[in-house]
Structure 1
Amino acid sequence: MTRKVFVAGVGMIPFKKPGTSETYDVMGALAVQQALEDAGLSYTDVQQAYAGYVYGDSTCGQKALYRVGMSGIPVINVNNNCATGSSALFLARQAVQSGAVDCALAVGFEFMQPGALRSRWDDRAPALERALDVVDELVDRKDLPSAIRQFSGAGKAHMDKYGTRLETFAKIRAKASQHAARNPLAVFRNVVSTEDVMNAPMLWDGVLTRLMACPPTCGGAAAIVVSEEFARKRGLRTDVLIAGQALTTDTPSTYDARDMIRVVGFDMAQAAAASVYEQAGIGPRDIDVIELHDCFAQNELLTYEALGLCDEGHGEKLVNDGDNTYGGKWVVNPSGGLLSKGHPLGATGLAQCYELTHQLRGTADARQVRDARVALAHNVGLGGACVVTVYQKAG
């Protein structure tokens, strides 16, 4: 049994720097309350809930949701690294599509600490051990944090293979800041130029400046998904349809290709995109607006190619042609993306849902993409998981 699934309500709180936010349970509860209000529902209408976070003990989802209500429903906690929020949404959408429930909630939140990402478990082998073995083989900068070595290593591989210039990544970061300036929920709303990005402190000479990496962020976001029958019965909005969604994991090529571009999830994204295009009956040219996982400016360019917006090696041309912003073929990360909006790991995928839902509703205010009818979200977590979602304006 498969049914149409609609986004009935979304919520998102302003993202903030570590040390300036509410606690994780308060952030999660606030986002859920917003989503319920947006949908015109009460918590007792929700039949299942999926709570996404990376840094926290088991049942943090219950602690956050108990602030909203204690209705006894199943609460499933989800952790898929940086793809956690979209993984929670994938499960909620799957529950409704299969007929298991008519109304499901996905919430994501993260209470982060300053500095580079790191594991909190030092008494066991890391989950990314196999990937890190390949990184050690291909990237010699062992003095750098793991995420920088992986994503900047992938960017360097693209530079070495295709002649991509560092300035191109700086243009992507500058574009993100221009978009975020229109987003009151973004953590960084100051506009920076390409020159500002190039002149920022170098974290890896010739490969990465500080402004090309997203900041650790605290925040929360939520979405309520419903069946068409439930929506009609309750008088809920059915203007945003989840037309396709795929969650993929690594294949042998991630490691066996000995290619840093593959290590950071290129093949996962490519496979997920192919699946959702088939599900929705569309191609890349049919998309109007995209929220993608720009944890590093380098990864945004790699993702253009993985999603089929251009051929491999042509990401730089897409940037130089202005096809990633207003007036181009696609508007990419109108929210400011992870680079400027922020990246609270568990909330990121649901923040993408929030942005794209408002884009398709026509309620994105100063960020509005004109006549947006088809939207795509891409959310990746190393280790690995990749979720690609296609939303369509219904009716």
Structure 2
Amino acid sequence: MSHVIVAGVGMTKFQKPGKHQPYRLMAANAINMAVKDAGISARQIEQAFAAYIYGDSTSGQHAFYDVIQSGIAIVNVHNNCSSGSSALYLARQAVLSGEVECALAFGFEEMQPGALVSHWQDRESPFDRVEPVYEQFNVPQGPIALRTFGSAGRHYMEKYHVDASLFAKVAVKSRSHAVNNPYSLFNTPLTMADVLNDKVIFDNYLTRTMACPPTCGAAAAIICSEAFAKRNGLSHGVKILAQTMTTDTQVSWQDPISSVGADMTKRAANKAYNSAGIGPQEIDVIELHDCFTPNEIINYEALGLCAEGAAIELVEKNDNTYGGKFVVGPSGGLMSKGHPIGATGLAQCAELCWHLRGEAGKRQVTGAKFALQHNIGLGGAVVVTIYGQ
């Protein structure tokens, strides 16, 4: 089977709510950047997949029409925080199937300030399934994202006898990477004291700088076949070596760590490694779903970067940053770059393609050969993508 190519990428600089352009303009800008980066015409795009979760249906069409109204199939994708990677997954499948040779995946979001909450109070929530976990482990009340990831962090601390300073170290690392990223929302360095003494937002340990901010922005990727790339003289494409999506099993409800997608991640990662024919130790650069720093720690282990309970050693040895085994979140991650939900997975894709193309500027991971992308949507879906040259 031939590999699918990421021929071009683009993204806007992420902004705080209220300081952004309308989603239509942000998305159109990102699409135009990806088209230009690929070196094709927008008319060559045969299908498009638009990711977002806050907006009316067919918002994807509304945004794409600012680029071109070519009458192609456009599918709107809503898979919680993995929506962007889900759009990428569908675009790759469309090309692999042979139905089209060139597809577009793009994502955007206009978010509101504050913690994520359900917008539908008159019907069942998909998160009702996790309530027994909260009851069993006496999880405090709070907004869904804080309850879910906050309780996972608490469970990790109790299970492995560590304290919140471990999560603070990850926040400091992430911000040190963001300093060199012009696309990042936050680029001021942090200290351990800054993180630990910041405002507590959940369960007497989780502080504001351990959580990603609500953000607005857009990102896009042009996906094509190897034959299309060769025929059109596209020379700087990045191969998708493997890509997998997993959803929940009953294991997801056994404890707070599993409830934030750790088991989904483990299964998706193992399948992706097997498909790509490489192991985790061969990965050079990683963009993972660090919506909260406890989740980054949990997913070091779920992705196989270290053994279960060994994340503290990985962090202490600086094996999550430049000079160590892996560079995790060179963009600054969701923690610093921002997390406009529909755009997140495609922004991760853009970042990793830049590294594999040697175009990441001051944050370049030298000699990067293999890259891994990890995107979680609770409720749930995990997408793991492995890229290579």
- Please give the range of the TM-score, normalised by the shorter of the 2 chains: over 0.9
User: How do 1:243-258 and structure 2 match up within 5 A?
Assistant: 243-255=241-253, 257=254
Cα distance in 2 for residues equivalent to 1:167 and 1:120: 34
Q: Give, in whole Å, the separation in 2 of the partners of 1:204 and 1:108.
A: 29
Q: Does structure 1 retain, via aligned residues, the 8 Å contact 2:319–2:325?
A: yes
Partner of 1:365: 361
TM-superposed deviation, 1:226: 0.6
Structure 1 letter corresponding to 2:288:
L
User: Residue 237 of structure 1: CA displacement?
Assistant: 2.3
Q: Does 1:173 align with 2:201?
A: no
SS at match of 2:271: helix
1:280 to 256, 261, 276: 276
Alignment partner, residue 16 of structure 1:
15
- Percent identity of the aligned residues? 54
2:381 aligns with 385
Alignment partners' CA distance in 2, 1:231 and 1:201: 50
2-structure distance, mates of 1:371, 1:95: 31
For the residues of structure 1 that align with 2:203 and 2:133, how far apart are their CA atoms?
21
Superposed counterparts of 1:229-308, under 5 Å: 229-255=227-253, 257=254, 259-308=255-304
Other structure's SS at 1:215 match = coil
Distance between the aligned counterparts of 1:140 and 1:156, measured in 2?
9
Q: Deviations over 1:99-141 (max 9, x none)?
A: 1110000000000000111121111111211123422432331
The correspondence of residues 43-192 of structure 1 with structure 2, limited to 5 A, is 43-142=42-141, 144-192=142-190
After TM superposition, which residue ranges in structure 1, 4 or more long, deviate above 4 angstroms? Answer: none
Q: Answer yes or no: is the 8 Å Cα contact 2:27–2:219 preserved in 1.
A: yes
TM-score (norm 1): 0.97
- Residue 316 of structure 2 corresponds to 320
Following superposition, the deviation at residue 42 of structure 1 comes to 1.3
Cross-structure match for 1:310 = 306
1:64 deviation in Å? 0.4
Q: Secondary structure at the match of 2:107?
A: strand
CA RMSD of aligned residues (A): 1.0
Give 1:336's aligned residue.
332
- After TM superposition, give the deviation of residue 3 of structure 1 in Å: 2.9
Q: Write the letter of the residue equivalent to 1:150.
A: T
In structure 2, distance between residues paired with 1:48 and 1:205: 45
Q: Residue 220 of structure 2 is aligned with which of 210, 222, 230?
A: 222
Q: Deviations over 1:228-276 (max 9, x none)?
A: 1111111012541000000110011111x2x100000000000000011
Report SS of the residue matched to 1:290. Answer: strand
- Partner Cα distance (2:13, 2:135) in 1: 37
Structure 1 residue aligned with 2:191, among 183, 190, 193? 193
1:305 Cα deviation (Å)? 0.2
Query: Which one of 210, 213, 218 corresponds to residue 212 of structure 1?
Result: 210
CA contact (8 A) 1:139 1:153 kept: no
Give how far 1:205 is off.
4.9
TM-score (norm 2): 0.98
SS of residue in 1 equivalent to 2:108? strand
- Preserved CA contact (<8 Å) 1:270 1:308: yes
Q: Note if contact 1:166-1:206 (Cα within 8 Å) is conserved in structure 2.
A: no
Structure 2 equivalent of residue 203 of structure 1:
201
**Contact 1:139 1:149 survives alignment (8 Å):** no
Aligned to 1:164, what secondary structure does the other structure show? Answer: coil
The aligned length equals 389
Alignment partners' CA distance in 2, 1:249 and 1:28: 28
Kept in 1: contact 2:150–2:203 (CA 8 A)? no
Superposed CA deviations along residues 286-312 of structure 1, whole A, max 9, x for unmatched, are 000000000000000000000000111
CA distance 1:386–1:57, shift in 2 (3 Å): same
* 2:292 counterpart letter in structure 1: F
Q: Aligned partners of 1:363, 1:118: CA distance in 2, in Å? A: 37
Range 198-207 or range 320-329, more displaced: 198-207
Contact 2:245–2:268 (8 Å) recurs in 1 = yes
1:219 and 1:59 map into 2 onto residues whose CA distance is 18
The residue matched to 2:126 in structure 1 has which SS?
coil
- Contact kept, 8 Å, 2:140 with 2:203, in 1: the verdict is no
CA deviations on 1:339-371 (whole Å, 9 max, x unpaired) are 000000000000000000000000000110010
Q: Is the 8 A contact 1:11 1:32 kept in 2?
A: yes
Quote the Cα distance in structure 2 between the aligned partners of 1:179 and 1:66: 36
